[in-house]
A and B are shown apart, each in its own frame.
Chain A
Protein backbone atom coordinates (compact mmCIF):
# COMPACT_ATOMS: atom_id res chain seq x y z
CA UNK A 1 0.00 0.00 0.00
CA UNK A 2 1.02 3.58 -0.55
CA UNK A 3 -0.10 7.00 0.55
CA UNK A 4 -0.64 7.61 -3.17
CA UNK A 5 -2.47 4.57 -4.59
CA UNK A 6 -0.97 3.33 -7.83
CA UNK A 7 -2.42 4.89 -10.98
CA UNK A 8 -2.35 3.43 -14.48
CA UNK A 9 -2.90 5.93 -17.27
CA UNK A 10 -5.35 5.07 -20.02
CA UNK A 11 -5.49 6.48 -23.52
CA UNK A 12 -7.59 9.51 -22.57
CA UNK A 13 -5.33 10.47 -19.65
CA UNK A 14 -1.91 9.61 -21.11
CA UNK A 15 -1.02 13.20 -22.05
CA UNK A 16 -1.95 14.47 -18.55
CA UNK A 17 0.28 11.94 -16.80
CA UNK A 18 3.13 12.30 -19.32
CA UNK A 19 3.06 16.06 -18.68
CA UNK A 20 3.15 15.44 -14.92
CA UNK A 21 6.20 13.20 -15.39
CA UNK A 22 7.91 16.20 -17.04
CA UNK A 23 6.85 18.45 -14.13
CA UNK A 24 4.09 20.15 -16.10
CA UNK A 25 0.42 20.62 -15.23
CA UNK A 26 -1.82 19.96 -18.22
CA UNK A 27 -5.31 21.49 -18.29
CA UNK A 28 -7.70 22.23 -21.14
CA UNK A 29 -8.73 25.46 -22.86
CA UNK A 30 -12.05 26.16 -24.55
CA UNK A 31 -12.78 28.45 -27.52
CA UNK A 32 -13.58 31.30 -25.08
CA UNK A 33 -10.07 31.05 -23.65
CA UNK A 34 -11.42 29.68 -20.37
CA UNK A 35 -8.99 27.21 -18.81
CA UNK A 36 -10.78 24.11 -17.54
CA UNK A 37 -9.85 21.08 -15.40
CA UNK A 38 -8.80 17.86 -17.16
CA UNK A 39 -12.16 16.18 -16.60
CA UNK A 40 -14.20 19.04 -18.16
CA UNK A 41 -16.17 18.19 -21.29
CA UNK A 42 -17.70 21.56 -22.16
CA UNK A 43 -16.58 25.18 -22.22
CA UNK A 44 -19.36 26.72 -20.11
CA UNK A 45 -18.86 30.15 -21.72
CA UNK A 46 -19.60 28.92 -25.23
CA UNK A 47 -21.14 25.48 -24.76
CA UNK A 48 -18.45 24.11 -27.04
CA UNK A 49 -17.01 20.61 -26.54
CA UNK A 50 -13.90 21.59 -28.55
CA UNK A 51 -11.24 21.74 -25.82
CA UNK A 52 -7.50 21.84 -26.46
CA UNK A 53 -4.68 20.87 -24.07
CA UNK A 54 -2.80 23.71 -22.39
CA UNK A 55 0.11 23.68 -19.94
CA UNK A 56 -0.53 26.01 -17.00
CA UNK A 57 1.76 27.60 -14.43
CA UNK A 58 1.06 25.27 -11.52
CA UNK A 59 0.68 28.36 -9.31
CA UNK A 60 -2.51 28.94 -7.39
CA UNK A 61 -4.22 29.83 -4.14
CA UNK A 62 -5.95 27.75 -1.48
CA UNK A 63 -9.76 27.90 -1.55
CA UNK A 64 -10.52 25.30 1.13
CA UNK A 65 -9.03 22.23 2.78
CA UNK A 66 -9.94 19.31 5.01
CA UNK A 67 -7.87 17.03 7.21
CA UNK A 68 -9.24 13.59 6.41
CA UNK A 69 -9.12 11.22 9.38
CA UNK A 70 -11.53 8.50 8.23
CA UNK A 71 -10.32 7.00 4.95
CA UNK A 72 -13.12 7.15 2.38
CA UNK A 73 -11.70 4.14 0.52
CA UNK A 74 -9.58 1.16 1.54
CA UNK A 75 -7.02 2.33 -1.03
CA UNK A 76 -6.48 5.44 1.11
CA UNK A 77 -6.29 3.61 4.45
CA UNK A 78 -2.48 4.08 4.63
CA UNK A 79 -2.75 7.76 3.73
CA UNK A 80 -4.81 9.08 6.69
CA UNK A 81 -4.56 11.58 8.11
CA UNK A 82 -4.07 13.53 4.88
CA UNK A 83 -5.15 16.89 3.51
CA UNK A 84 -7.57 17.25 0.59
CA UNK A 85 -7.95 20.73 -0.81
CA UNK A 86 -9.63 22.87 -3.41
CA UNK A 87 -7.05 25.09 -5.12
CA UNK A 88 -7.69 27.87 -7.59
CA UNK A 89 -5.10 27.93 -10.35
CA UNK A 90 -3.77 31.32 -11.46
CA UNK A 91 -5.48 30.58 -14.79
CA UNK A 92 -8.90 30.17 -13.12
CA UNK A 93 -9.91 26.53 -12.75
CA UNK A 94 -10.47 24.91 -9.36
CA UNK A 95 -8.94 21.52 -8.70
CA UNK A 96 -9.60 18.95 -5.98
CA UNK A 97 -6.12 17.90 -4.96
CA UNK A 98 -3.98 16.33 -2.27
CA UNK A 99 -2.10 18.99 -0.33
CA UNK A 100 1.28 18.17 1.22
CA UNK A 101 2.65 19.79 4.37
CA UNK A 102 1.44 20.95 7.76
CA UNK A 103 -2.29 21.75 7.81
CA UNK A 104 -2.14 23.77 11.03
CA UNK A 105 -0.71 26.84 9.29
CA UNK A 106 -3.17 26.94 6.38
CA UNK A 107 -5.51 29.82 5.54
CA UNK A 108 -7.84 30.41 2.63
CA UNK A 109 -6.00 32.47 0.03
CA UNK A 110 -2.55 31.04 0.80
CA UNK A 111 -0.32 30.67 -2.28
CA UNK A 112 0.12 27.04 -3.33
CA UNK A 113 2.17 25.41 -6.05
CA UNK A 114 2.07 22.11 -7.91
CA UNK A 115 4.52 19.35 -7.02
CA UNK A 116 4.84 15.97 -8.62
CA UNK A 117 4.88 12.62 -6.83
CA UNK A 118 5.07 9.06 -8.11
CA UNK A 119 2.02 6.95 -7.25
CA UNK A 120 2.28 3.36 -6.04
CA UNK A 121 5.30 1.93 -4.23
CA UNK A 122 9.02 1.73 -4.92
CA UNK A 123 8.50 -1.85 -6.08
CA UNK A 124 5.40 -1.08 -8.15
CA UNK A 125 5.48 2.56 -9.23
CA UNK A 126 2.54 4.04 -11.11
CA UNK A 127 1.95 7.31 -12.91
CA UNK A 128 3.36 10.61 -11.69
CA UNK A 129 0.63 12.75 -10.07
CA UNK A 130 0.32 16.49 -9.62
CA UNK A 131 -0.25 17.38 -5.95
CA UNK A 132 0.00 20.78 -4.26
CA UNK A 133 1.90 22.37 -1.42
CA UNK A 134 1.76 25.67 0.41
CA UNK A 135 4.45 27.95 -1.04
CA UNK A 136 7.27 28.06 1.57
CA UNK A 137 7.66 31.34 3.39
CA UNK A 138 3.98 32.26 3.30
CA UNK A 139 3.14 30.74 6.68
CA UNK A 140 2.58 31.28 9.48
CA UNK A 141 1.02 34.68 9.36
Chain B
Protein backbone atom coordinates (compact mmCIF):
# COMPACT_ATOMS: atom_id res chain seq x y z
CA UNK B 1 0.00 0.00 0.00
CA UNK B 2 1.39 3.38 -1.00
CA UNK B 3 0.12 6.80 -0.06
CA UNK B 4 -2.42 8.82 -1.98
CA UNK B 5 -1.82 11.14 -4.89
CA UNK B 6 -3.76 13.64 -6.94
CA UNK B 7 -3.97 12.19 -10.44
CA UNK B 8 -6.39 14.54 -12.16
CA UNK B 9 -7.34 18.22 -12.16
CA UNK B 10 -10.32 19.85 -13.87
CA UNK B 11 -11.03 23.57 -14.06
CA UNK B 12 -14.01 25.06 -15.83
CA UNK B 13 -14.09 28.56 -17.23
CA UNK B 14 -13.88 30.98 -14.29
CA UNK B 15 -15.41 34.31 -13.37
CA UNK B 16 -18.34 35.84 -15.22
CA UNK B 17 -19.66 32.54 -16.52
CA UNK B 18 -23.42 33.03 -16.76
CA UNK B 19 -26.40 30.87 -17.54
CA UNK B 20 -25.09 27.69 -15.91
CA UNK B 21 -26.03 26.13 -12.59
CA UNK B 22 -23.41 25.24 -10.01
CA UNK B 23 -24.33 21.57 -10.52
CA UNK B 24 -23.69 21.83 -14.25
CA UNK B 25 -20.30 23.45 -13.58
CA UNK B 26 -19.47 20.78 -10.97
CA UNK B 27 -20.29 17.99 -13.41
CA UNK B 28 -18.06 19.55 -16.06
CA UNK B 29 -15.14 19.91 -13.61
CA UNK B 30 -15.41 16.23 -12.60
CA UNK B 31 -15.48 15.16 -16.25
CA UNK B 32 -12.43 17.33 -16.97
CA UNK B 33 -10.50 15.99 -13.95
CA UNK B 34 -11.23 12.37 -14.84
CA UNK B 35 -10.19 12.91 -18.46
CA UNK B 36 -7.07 14.79 -17.29
CA UNK B 37 -6.08 11.70 -15.29
CA UNK B 38 -6.65 9.46 -18.30
CA UNK B 39 -9.55 7.74 -16.57
CA UNK B 40 -13.20 7.23 -17.40
CA UNK B 41 -16.09 8.48 -15.26
CA UNK B 42 -16.96 4.87 -14.55
CA UNK B 43 -13.60 4.45 -12.83
CA UNK B 44 -14.81 6.66 -9.98
CA UNK B 45 -16.03 4.86 -6.88
CA UNK B 46 -16.00 7.94 -4.67
CA UNK B 47 -17.35 11.47 -4.99
CA UNK B 48 -17.01 14.26 -2.42
CA UNK B 49 -19.04 17.37 -3.15
CA UNK B 50 -18.74 20.93 -1.83
CA UNK B 51 -20.37 24.21 -2.66
CA UNK B 52 -19.67 27.85 -2.00
CA UNK B 53 -21.56 31.08 -1.48
CA UNK B 54 -24.74 29.68 -3.03
CA UNK B 55 -24.60 26.31 -1.22
CA UNK B 56 -26.40 24.68 -4.12
CA UNK B 57 -24.43 21.56 -5.04
CA UNK B 58 -25.10 18.32 -3.20
CA UNK B 59 -24.95 14.54 -3.41
CA UNK B 60 -27.42 14.59 -6.34
CA UNK B 61 -24.30 15.28 -8.41
CA UNK B 62 -23.72 11.51 -8.40
CA UNK B 63 -26.92 10.90 -10.34
CA UNK B 64 -26.22 13.88 -12.62
CA UNK B 65 -22.93 12.21 -13.58
CA UNK B 66 -24.61 8.82 -14.04
CA UNK B 67 -22.63 7.38 -11.15
CA UNK B 68 -25.09 4.83 -9.80
CA UNK B 69 -22.69 2.67 -7.79
CA UNK B 70 -20.39 4.60 -5.44
CA UNK B 71 -18.61 3.43 -2.29
CA UNK B 72 -18.26 7.02 -1.03
CA UNK B 73 -20.65 9.90 -1.73
CA UNK B 74 -20.75 12.81 0.72
CA UNK B 75 -21.25 16.52 0.87
CA UNK B 76 -18.41 18.05 2.88
CA UNK B 77 -18.42 21.49 4.49
CA UNK B 78 -15.83 23.12 6.69
CA UNK B 79 -16.28 26.46 4.87
CA UNK B 80 -12.99 27.58 3.32
CA UNK B 81 -11.14 24.66 4.91
CA UNK B 82 -13.21 22.16 2.93
CA UNK B 83 -10.83 21.37 0.06
CA UNK B 84 -8.05 20.13 2.34
CA UNK B 85 -10.53 18.18 4.45
CA UNK B 86 -11.91 16.51 1.31
CA UNK B 87 -8.50 15.45 0.00
CA UNK B 88 -7.64 14.04 3.45
CA UNK B 89 -10.95 12.15 3.56
CA UNK B 90 -10.33 10.77 0.08
CA UNK B 91 -6.84 9.62 1.12
CA UNK B 92 -8.24 8.00 4.26
CA UNK B 93 -10.92 6.17 2.28
CA UNK B 94 -8.29 4.92 -0.15
CA UNK B 95 -5.91 3.88 2.66
CA UNK B 96 -8.76 2.02 4.37
CA UNK B 97 -9.63 0.17 1.19
CA UNK B 98 -13.08 1.71 1.13
CA UNK B 99 -12.59 3.34 -2.27
CA UNK B 100 -9.93 3.46 -4.97
CA UNK B 101 -10.67 6.56 -7.02
CA UNK B 102 -12.30 9.58 -5.41
CA UNK B 103 -13.23 12.84 -7.14
CA UNK B 104 -13.45 15.95 -4.95
CA UNK B 105 -15.32 18.87 -6.48
CA UNK B 106 -16.28 22.46 -5.65
CA UNK B 107 -18.67 24.62 -7.65
CA UNK B 108 -20.33 27.99 -7.19
CA UNK B 109 -22.26 30.49 -9.30
CA UNK B 110 -23.08 33.54 -7.17
CA UNK B 111 -22.35 36.12 -9.88
CA UNK B 112 -25.28 37.33 -11.94
CA UNK B 113 -25.19 39.59 -15.01
CA UNK B 114 -25.57 43.34 -14.21
CA UNK B 115 -25.06 42.84 -10.49
CA UNK B 116 -22.09 43.96 -8.41
CA UNK B 117 -19.88 41.16 -7.08
CA UNK B 118 -20.54 42.24 -3.50
CA UNK B 119 -24.27 41.64 -3.98
CA UNK B 120 -23.50 37.97 -4.49
CA UNK B 121 -23.18 37.73 -0.73
CA UNK B 122 -26.76 38.94 -0.29
CA UNK B 123 -29.66 36.75 0.71
CA UNK B 124 -33.41 37.10 0.93
CA UNK B 125 -33.12 38.79 4.30
CA UNK B 126 -30.96 41.45 2.73
CA UNK B 127 -33.50 42.78 0.25
CA UNK B 128 -34.55 46.38 0.91
CA UNK B 129 -37.58 46.26 3.16
CA UNK B 130 -37.08 42.66 4.14
CA UNK B 131 -34.99 43.85 7.08
CA UNK B 132 -37.37 46.73 7.93
CA UNK B 133 -38.43 45.06 11.12
CA UNK B 134 -35.63 43.15 12.73
CA UNK B 135 -36.82 40.73 15.34
CA UNK B 136 -35.33 39.57 18.61
CA UNK B 137 -31.63 39.48 19.40
CA UNK B 138 -30.89 39.40 15.66
CA UNK B 139 -32.02 43.02 15.60
CA UNK B 140 -29.23 43.98 17.99
CA UNK B 141 -26.69 41.96 15.98
CA UNK B 142 -27.67 43.67 12.74
CA UNK B 143 -27.44 47.04 14.45
CA UNK B 144 -23.86 46.23 15.50
CA UNK B 145 -23.19 46.62 11.80
CA UNK B 146 -20.66 43.76 11.87
CA UNK B 147 -22.69 41.44 9.72
CA UNK B 148 -20.44 40.21 6.92
CA UNK B 149 -16.98 38.70 6.47
CA UNK B 150 -15.45 41.95 5.14
CA UNK B 151 -16.17 43.65 8.46
CA UNK B 152 -15.28 40.70 10.66
CA UNK B 153 -11.93 40.10 8.93
CA UNK B 154 -11.28 43.85 9.16
CA UNK B 155 -11.79 43.59 12.93
CA UNK B 156 -9.12 40.86 12.99
CA UNK B 157 -6.71 42.86 10.83
CA UNK B 158 -7.17 45.94 13.03
CA UNK B 159 -6.40 43.87 16.10
CA UNK B 160 -3.12 42.75 14.52
CA UNK B 161 -2.29 46.31 13.48
CA UNK B 162 -2.91 47.64 16.99
CA UNK B 163 -0.95 44.85 18.66
CA UNK B 164 2.01 44.54 16.30
CA UNK B 165 2.11 47.71 14.20
CA UNK B 166 1.16 45.95 10.97
CA UNK B 167 0.27 48.46 8.23
CA UNK B 168 -2.09 48.65 5.27
CA UNK B 169 0.96 49.08 3.02
CA UNK B 170 2.25 45.71 4.22
CA UNK B 171 -1.10 44.14 3.32
CA UNK B 172 -0.73 45.87 -0.06
CA UNK B 173 2.60 44.09 -0.55
CA UNK B 174 0.68 40.80 -0.47
CA UNK B 175 -1.90 41.96 -3.03
CA UNK B 176 0.80 43.39 -5.30
CA UNK B 177 2.94 40.22 -5.16
CA UNK B 178 -0.03 38.01 -5.99
CA UNK B 179 -1.06 40.20 -8.90
CA UNK B 180 2.48 39.95 -10.27
CA UNK B 181 2.03 36.17 -10.34
CA UNK B 182 -1.49 36.44 -11.82
CA UNK B 183 -0.16 38.38 -14.81
CA UNK B 184 1.18 35.02 -16.05
CA UNK B 185 -1.91 32.94 -15.22
CA UNK B 186 -4.29 32.48 -18.15
CA UNK B 187 -7.02 31.38 -15.71
CA UNK B 188 -6.79 34.63 -13.69
CA UNK B 189 -9.59 37.17 -13.72
CA UNK B 190 -7.23 40.08 -12.84
CA UNK B 191 -4.04 40.19 -14.92
CA UNK B 192 -3.10 43.89 -14.99
CA UNK B 193 -0.04 44.64 -12.81
CA UNK B 194 -0.85 46.41 -9.54
CA UNK B 195 1.09 48.91 -7.42
CA UNK B 196 0.99 49.62 -3.71
CA UNK B 197 -0.28 53.12 -4.54
CA UNK B 198 -3.19 51.65 -6.52
CA UNK B 199 -4.00 49.36 -3.63
CA UNK B 200 -3.94 52.32 -1.23
CA UNK B 201 -6.17 54.35 -3.55
CA UNK B 202 -8.79 51.61 -3.86
CA UNK B 203 -11.94 52.43 -1.93
CA UNK B 204 -12.47 51.48 1.66
CA UNK B 205 -14.72 48.50 2.21
CA UNK B 206 -14.27 48.33 5.95
CA UNK B 207 -11.29 50.41 7.14
CA UNK B 208 -8.57 48.96 7.58
CA UNK B 209 -9.46 46.82 4.52
CA UNK B 210 -9.47 48.38 1.06
CA UNK B 211 -11.28 46.86 -1.92
CA UNK B 212 -7.98 45.33 -3.09
CA UNK B 213 -7.54 43.52 0.23
CA UNK B 214 -10.65 41.48 -0.58
CA UNK B 215 -11.05 38.38 -2.73
CA UNK B 216 -12.91 38.19 -6.01
CA UNK B 217 -16.25 36.50 -6.50
CA UNK B 218 -16.32 33.86 -9.23
CA UNK B 219 -18.59 31.42 -10.98
CA UNK B 220 -16.95 28.13 -11.90
CA UNK B 221 -15.90 24.73 -10.63
CA UNK B 222 -12.74 22.78 -9.82
CA UNK B 223 -12.29 19.05 -9.29
CA UNK B 224 -9.39 16.77 -8.41
CA UNK B 225 -9.14 12.99 -8.62
CA UNK B 226 -7.39 11.24 -5.73
CA UNK B 227 -6.13 7.66 -6.02
CA UNK B 228 -3.36 5.44 -4.65
CA UNK B 229 0.12 6.74 -5.47
CA UNK B 230 1.25 3.58 -7.27
CA UNK B 231 -1.83 3.71 -9.49
CA UNK B 232 -1.43 7.44 -10.08
CA UNK B 233 2.06 6.73 -11.41
CA UNK B 234 0.51 4.68 -14.26
CA UNK B 235 -1.95 7.40 -15.31
CA UNK B 236 -1.78 10.29 -17.76
CA UNK B 237 -0.41 13.09 -15.54
CA UNK B 238 2.60 13.36 -13.25
CA UNK B 239 1.28 12.31 -9.84
CA UNK B 240 1.10 14.87 -7.06
CA UNK B 241 1.79 12.98 -3.86
CA UNK B 242 0.06 13.72 -0.59
CA UNK B 243 2.73 13.73 2.10
CA UNK B 244 0.69 15.07 4.96
CA UNK B 245 -2.55 16.67 5.99
CA UNK B 246 -4.04 18.41 9.00
CA UNK B 247 -7.12 20.24 10.14
CA UNK B 248 -7.99 22.26 13.23
CA UNK B 249 -11.02 24.25 14.31
CA UNK B 250 -11.35 27.08 16.81
CA UNK B 251 -14.89 28.50 16.77
CA UNK B 252 -14.25 31.98 18.08
CA UNK B 253 -14.37 32.59 21.79
CA UNK B 254 -15.87 35.97 22.57
CA UNK B 255 -14.38 36.48 26.01
CA UNK B 256 -11.50 38.15 27.82
CA UNK B 257 -8.23 36.47 26.91
CA UNK B 258 -9.42 35.30 23.50
CA UNK B 259 -6.78 35.38 20.77
CA UNK B 260 -9.42 35.46 18.00
CA UNK B 261 -8.07 37.28 14.98
CA UNK B 262 -4.45 37.18 16.12
CA UNK B 263 -3.85 33.41 16.19
CA UNK B 264 -5.76 31.01 13.94
CA UNK B 265 -6.15 27.22 13.94
CA UNK B 266 -3.44 27.20 11.24
CA UNK B 267 -1.08 27.16 14.22
CA UNK B 268 -2.23 23.58 14.93
CA UNK B 269 -3.19 22.34 11.47
CA UNK B 270 0.06 23.41 9.79
CA UNK B 271 2.50 21.77 12.22
CA UNK B 272 0.34 18.60 12.25
CA UNK B 273 0.47 18.31 8.45
CA UNK B 274 4.19 19.07 8.32
CA UNK B 275 4.87 16.53 11.06
CA UNK B 276 2.99 13.85 9.11
CA UNK B 277 4.97 14.81 6.00
CA UNK B 278 8.27 14.72 7.87
CA UNK B 279 9.17 18.24 6.83
CA UNK B 280 9.67 21.61 8.45
CA UNK B 281 8.64 25.03 7.30
CA UNK B 282 12.16 25.68 5.95
CA UNK B 283 11.60 22.83 3.45
CA UNK B 284 8.61 24.53 1.81
CA UNK B 285 9.30 25.63 -1.77
CA UNK B 286 5.83 26.86 -2.68
CA UNK B 287 3.06 28.04 -0.35
CA UNK B 288 -0.46 28.21 -1.77
CA UNK B 289 -2.30 30.00 1.03
CA UNK B 290 -6.00 30.65 1.34
CA UNK B 291 -6.44 34.38 0.75
CA UNK B 292 -10.00 35.52 1.24
CA UNK B 293 -8.26 38.71 2.41
CA UNK B 294 -4.63 39.85 2.31
CA UNK B 295 -4.60 39.62 6.10
CA UNK B 296 -5.44 35.90 5.95
CA UNK B 297 -2.15 35.28 4.13
CA UNK B 298 -0.18 37.31 6.66
CA UNK B 299 -1.62 35.60 9.73
CA UNK B 300 -1.32 32.13 8.13
CA UNK B 301 2.39 32.72 7.39
CA UNK B 302 2.88 33.56 11.07
CA UNK B 303 0.86 30.62 12.35
CA UNK B 304 2.69 28.17 10.07
CA UNK B 305 5.99 29.47 11.45
CA UNK B 306 7.43 31.17 8.36
CA UNK B 307 8.04 34.05 10.78
CA UNK B 308 7.28 34.86 14.39
CA UNK B 309 3.92 36.07 15.68
CA UNK B 310 3.61 39.75 14.89
CA UNK B 311 6.43 39.66 12.29
CA UNK B 312 4.17 38.97 9.29
CA UNK B 313 4.13 42.58 8.15
CA UNK B 314 7.90 42.77 7.88
CA UNK B 315 8.06 39.27 6.42
CA UNK B 316 5.85 40.05 3.41
CA UNK B 317 7.66 43.32 2.59
CA UNK B 318 10.28 43.84 -0.11
CA UNK B 319 8.72 41.44 -2.62
CA UNK B 320 9.24 38.39 -0.44
CA UNK B 321 6.19 36.64 -1.94
CA UNK B 322 6.46 37.99 -5.50
CA UNK B 323 8.00 36.25 -8.52
CA UNK B 324 11.73 36.13 -7.78
CA UNK B 325 11.11 36.51 -4.04
CA UNK B 326 12.32 34.13 -1.37
CA UNK B 327 8.99 32.32 -0.95
CA UNK B 328 6.86 31.49 -3.99
CA UNK B 329 3.40 32.19 -2.58
CA UNK B 330 0.01 32.14 -4.29
CA UNK B 331 1.67 31.69 -7.64
CA UNK B 332 -1.57 31.79 -9.61
CA UNK B 333 -2.67 35.08 -8.06
CA UNK B 334 -4.81 33.45 -5.40
CA UNK B 335 -8.37 34.40 -4.66
CA UNK B 336 -7.38 38.06 -4.71
CA UNK B 337 -6.43 38.01 -8.39
CA UNK B 338 -7.18 34.68 -10.08
CA UNK B 339 -10.48 33.05 -9.10
CA UNK B 340 -12.49 32.50 -5.92
CA UNK B 341 -13.11 28.77 -5.65
CA UNK B 342 -12.65 28.66 -1.88
CA UNK B 343 -9.94 26.10 -0.95
CA UNK B 344 -9.82 24.79 -4.50
CA UNK B 345 -8.04 27.97 -5.57
CA UNK B 346 -4.84 27.19 -3.64
CA UNK B 347 -5.28 23.43 -4.21
CA UNK B 348 -5.60 23.72 -7.99
CA UNK B 349 -2.58 26.00 -8.26
CA UNK B 350 -0.57 23.63 -6.04
CA UNK B 351 -1.30 20.73 -8.41
CA UNK B 352 -0.33 22.83 -11.43
CA UNK B 353 2.94 23.90 -9.77
CA UNK B 354 3.84 20.42 -8.48
CA UNK B 355 3.36 19.04 -12.00
CA UNK B 356 5.62 21.75 -13.43
CA UNK B 357 2.77 23.03 -15.60
CA UNK B 358 2.85 26.65 -14.40
CA UNK B 359 4.20 28.05 -17.68
CA UNK B 360 5.27 31.67 -17.21
CA UNK B 361 4.49 31.49 -13.50
CA UNK B 362 6.23 28.20 -12.75
CA UNK B 363 8.06 28.39 -9.43
CA UNK B 364 11.77 27.50 -9.59
CA UNK B 365 11.53 24.68 -7.03
CA UNK B 366 8.45 22.59 -6.16
CA UNK B 367 9.75 19.68 -4.11
CA UNK B 368 7.45 20.63 -1.22
CA UNK B 369 4.19 22.49 -1.84
CA UNK B 370 2.12 23.63 1.13
CA UNK B 371 -1.62 24.28 0.71
CA UNK B 372 -3.86 25.98 3.24
CA UNK B 373 -7.60 26.30 3.63
CA UNK B 374 -9.28 28.77 5.97
CA UNK B 375 -12.94 29.10 6.86
CA UNK B 376 -15.33 31.01 9.02
CA UNK B 377 -13.70 34.13 10.42
CA UNK B 378 -10.24 32.57 10.90
CA UNK B 379 -11.97 29.68 12.74
CA UNK B 380 -11.47 26.60 10.55
CA UNK B 381 -8.24 25.47 8.95
CA UNK B 382 -6.87 22.66 6.80
CA UNK B 383 -3.37 22.02 5.51
CA UNK B 384 -1.97 19.73 2.81
CA UNK B 385 1.66 18.96 2.05
CA UNK B 386 2.08 17.92 -1.59
CA UNK B 387 5.07 16.91 -3.68
CA UNK B 388 5.91 15.66 -7.17
CA UNK B 389 8.00 12.99 -5.42
CA UNK B 390 6.82 9.92 -3.60
CA UNK B 391 7.61 10.33 0.05
CA UNK B 392 10.71 8.43 1.16
CA UNK B 393 9.55 5.68 3.41
CA UNK B 394 11.96 5.12 6.29
Q: Could you list which residues of chain A lie within 8 angstroms of chain B, going by C-beta atoms?
A: 4-10, 12-13, 16, 34, 36-39, 44, 63-70, 72-76, 79, 82-86, 88, 92-98, 103, 107-108, 119, 126-127, 129-131
A131 to B203 alpha-carbon distance, docked (Å): 27
B158 contact from A6, A65, A72, A96, Cβ within 8 A: A65
B139 sits at the interface (CB 8 A): yes
Is there a chain A Cβ closer than 8 Å to B136's Cβ? yes
Residues A84 and B145 in contact in the complex (CB < 8 Å), given A12-B136, A13-B136, A69-B203:
yes
Name B145's closest neighbour in chain A (CB-CB). A84
| A75 in contact with B132 given A64-B159, A108-B163 (CB within 8 Å) | yes
Known A-B contacts A7-B139, A82-B145; A68 and B151 likewise in contact (beta carbons under 8 Å): yes
Whether A74 pairs with B128 at a CB distance below 8 angstroms is yes
Contact B141 A92 (CB under 8 A): no
Of the candidates B136, B150, B204, which one forms a contact with A9 in the assembled complex, judged by CB atoms under 8 Å apart?
A: B136
Mark B residues whose CB is within 8 Å of A. 118, 126-129, 131-137, 139-148, 150-151, 154-156, 158-159, 162-163, 203-209, 253-256, 258, 261
Asked if A86 meets B155 with Cβ closer than 8 Å, knowing A74-B127, A93-B255, the reply is: yes
Complex: A107 Cα to B165 Cα, angstroms: 12
How far is A32 from B118 in the complex, measured between Cα atoms in Å? 43
How distant is the Cα of A8 from the Cα of B151 in the complex, in angstroms? Answer: 25
Assess the B256–A69 pair: CB atoms within 8 A.
Answer: no
Task: Point out the residues of chain A lying under 8 angstroms from B203, CB to CB.
Answer: 69-70
List 19 extra interface pairs beyond A64-B159, A66-B208, A88-B256, CB under 8 A: A5-B142, A5-B143, A6-B134, A7-B143, A13-B140, A63-B159, A64-B156, A68-B151, A74-B128, A75-B131, A76-B145, A79-B145, A84-B155, A85-B155, A93-B255, A94-B255, A96-B146, A96-B254, A119-B143
Q: Would A96 and B141 count as touching, CB distance under 8 A?
A: yes
CB-CB nearest 9 A-B residue pairs:
A7-B139, A75-B131, A108-B162, A67-B207, A94-B254, A84-B146, A10-B136, A72-B148, A69-B204
Asked whether, in the complex, the Cβ of B145 is within 8 Å of the Cβ of A38, the reply is no
Instruction: For the complex, give the distance between the alpha carbons of A93 and B252 in Å.
Output: 12
> Are the C-beta atoms of B139 and A5 separated by less than 8 Å?
yes
Beta-carbon nearest neighbor of A7 in chain B: B139
Identify 26 residue pairs between A and B in the complex whose beta-carbon atoms are under 8 Å apart, listed by A's number.
A5-B132, A5-B134, A8-B135, A16-B140, A34-B255, A38-B140, A39-B141, A64-B261, A65-B155, A66-B155, A67-B206, A67-B207, A69-B205, A69-B206, A70-B118, A73-B131, A74-B131, A84-B206, A93-B254, A94-B256, A94-B258, A96-B146, A96-B254, A98-B144, A126-B133, A129-B143
Contacts of A65 in B (CB 8 A): 155, 158
Contacts of A95 in B (CB 8 A): 144, 254
Given A66-B151, A70-B206: A96 and B144 within 8 A (CB)? yes
Task: Quote the shortest CB–CB distance from A75 to chain B (angstroms).
Answer: 4
In the complex formed, the residue of B with least CB distance to A40 is B254
Which of A5, A72, A96 has the most chain B CB atoms closer than 10 A to its own CB?
A72
- Distance in angstroms from A133 CB to nearest chain B CB is 14
Report A68 CB to chain B, min CB distance, Å: 5
A4: nearest residue on chain B (CB-CB)?
B143
CA distance A82 to B146 in the complex (A): 10
B258 surroundings in chain A (CB, below 8 A): 94
Partner of A92, one of B118, B129, B207, B256: B256
Kindly report which residue of chain B lies nearest to residue A37, judged by CB atoms.
B254
